Amino acid sequence: MLTRLSISNYALISSLDITFPDGLIIITGETGAGKSILLGALSLILGKRADASVFSDNTRNCVVEAEFHEKSGEEYILRRVITPAGRSRSFLNDEPVSLADLAAISSRIVDIHEQHQHLLLTDPDFRLGVIDHFAGTAPVLEEYRKAYSGYEAKEREVRSLEKAVAEAERDAEYRRFQLDRLLEARLVSGELEALETEQKALAHAGEIREGLEAACSALNPQDLSVVRLLRDAASRLSKYADYDSRMRPLAERLESCRIEVSDIERELEDIASCITVSPGRLEAVEERMSLIYSLQRKYGCSGEKELIELRDSLAASIDGAEEQQERLEELRKELASLDSARKDLAGKLSELRRGACGALSAELQSDIRSLEMPHAVFRAAVSPGDRLTASGGDRLDFLFSANGPDALRDISKVASGGELSRVMLSLKGLLARYTSLPTMIFDEIDTGVSGRIADKMGDMIGRMGQSMQIFAITHLPQIASKRGTHYLVYKEFGADGAARTGIRRIEGQERVEEVARMLSGSELTAAALENARELLSKAGNK
């Protein structure tokens, strides 16, 4: 329950620190006194966005702090700080938290029913939330939502891959044609350089052979062998080396020349024997070179190395497309499995919801009839929705008639504002019993009702206050007089003429006068005071 609320620099509230008890808490005040300001400040704790209008003094921070105590012993101190620059900070037990975390935490410990919230009765998600709370579907619903989100994620993955596969298929034929041409070419790294060298040799084979033969002839002019002549000269010099020492080195040098010339002669003969004049081979080499040159021009490559890289890249892309297609088939199977799982869980949800409709209808109808609608009929009916959503595959209809079962129609089409308020109060009371929510705030839920109806609504709110903390912000004396703790919101003006909103607990004669004011207006008559005492006494107030 909410035990303490502290507000600083919010709208007309300069500074306020107030504690609250358990049970029913009634808040009243003249129009414009600031009841909505209190609710607005508390809404900041519940995660509502803030703007510059929250400040009464633009030079200092706006701070709202609330303390909550649960029956389990848990204590929460929620604080929201908003700077004049518009920055917002949130805290839980003095530890920083995100605004989303603050909202999630507060939603478990307090619920605010604001004016016109009865319009939620027409909201499909709200209706399903009602039956889910009543039927206790939370474990199945959580499992379903995991399956649903898993399906949604997998479906996005499938769609993305389908797009990639479609794009790949659009130019697959052309890429396959390119790859086939390159595979047929049977390219080898370094081949072109070797071909160019061979082509030059083949193109000049005759000329080269003639040159080699001429060189060999030059080493054997007129049938005289230069090698033999060098050997003879060396032999003659060696013969006289014993007589003249200068002969030996010269002889050795001549022998070296003979050996070198002999080697050259043999190599020339070997080369000449290997050279063949082959117009056919030359033509084949030139055709091969022409093919490689053509491929280079066609695909914008500077050599066979780049052509080979292109070939390998095309092969990899085609292999990758095939792998993508295989992966797509796997994903589709996984998607089908997830779809089956979510449908099975949606079916379980539907079964639980349908099973709870009877009891929900009976309990809610009983509560509604206690609010001066003795012939009211309420039916909750589950039917299949158009598609699966995060809440399942159902639609929950609220059918209502204030005048018996024959006029049952959708509640949004037949219920008046006052009837909607009573249905919503009954529904809130029902939810409070089934959700164990510790604190509920009603902001003028009595709008559109008066007299005996308001008195009955007050009784229902009072009964709710016996098991939980209830704040009832009201303008009706029938509700303000119910047994509970009464707080008055008031406006006062300081010496500077500025208006300030405050709140204080009232009891005794002051409470009598406040209820009398609500009965008669600003002028307190003796009859109004007596009527106020009677209302308060009847409700069990001392």
Please give the distance of CA 218 from its chain centroid, rounded to a whole number: 91
Contacts of 224 by beta carbon, 8 Å cutoff, 6+ apart: none
pLDDT of residue 131: 92
Asked if residue 397 lies in contact with residue 122, where contact means CB atoms within 8 angstroms, the answer is no
Question: Contact 68/5 with Cβ under 8 angstroms?
Answer: no
Distance in angstroms (rounded) separating the CA atoms of residues 188 and 451: 101
**For residue 300, pLDDT beyond 60:** yes
DSSP string, 224-236: --HHHHHHHHHHH
DSSP class of residue 384 equals E
d(CA 440, CA 428): 9
Q: What is the rounded distance in angstroms from the CA atom of residue 180 to the CA atom of residue 349?
A: 57
**How does pLDDT run across 445-474, given as a tens digit for each residue?**
766 667 788 888 888 888 888 888 999 998
The pTM of the full predicted model, rounded to 2 decimals, is 0.64
Q: What is the token pair recorded at 425?
A: 């109060």
Using only C-alpha atoms, the chain has a radius of gyration, in whole angstroms, of 50
Residues of the chain with CATH 3.40.50.300: 1-109+437-507
Does CATH number 2.70.150.10 belong to domain 1-109+437-507? Answer: no
**Residues 466-516 pLDDT 10s:** 888 999 998 889 899 999 999 999 888 877 777 888 899 999 999 999 999
Tens of pLDDT, residues 9-61: 888 888 899 999 999 999 998 877 677 788 888 888 888 887 767 777 888 89
Q: Work out the percent of the chain whose per-residue pLDDT is above 90.
A: 30
pLDDT of residue 494: 75
Separation of alpha carbons 481 and 484, rounded Å: 8
Element holding 72 (H helix, E strand): none
Q: What is the pLDDT of residue 52?
A: 65
pLDDT category at 174 given cuts 50, 70, 90 is low
Cβ 539 vs Cβ 482: under 8 Å: yes
Pairing of strands 75-82, 88-92: antiparallel
pLDDT in tens, 351-390: 999 999 999 999 999 999 988 899 999 999 999 989 999 9
pLDDT classification of 97: cutoffs 50, 70, 90: very high
Degrees to nearest 5, angle at CA 386 with 381 and 388:
95
How many angstroms separate the CA atoms of 205 and 186, rounded? 28
Structure tokens at 236: 């003659």
Query: For the chain, give me the number of helices (H) and strands (E)?
Result: 17, 15
Residues found in the chain: 542
Q: Do the Cβ atoms of 14 and 56 come closer than 8 Å?
A: yes
Distance, CA of 146 to CA of 151 (rounded, Å): 8
Residues 6+ apart with CB under 8 A from 298: none
Q: CA nearest 69: which of 110, 31, 39?
A: 110
Tell me how far the alpha carbon of residue 515 is from its chain's centroid: 52
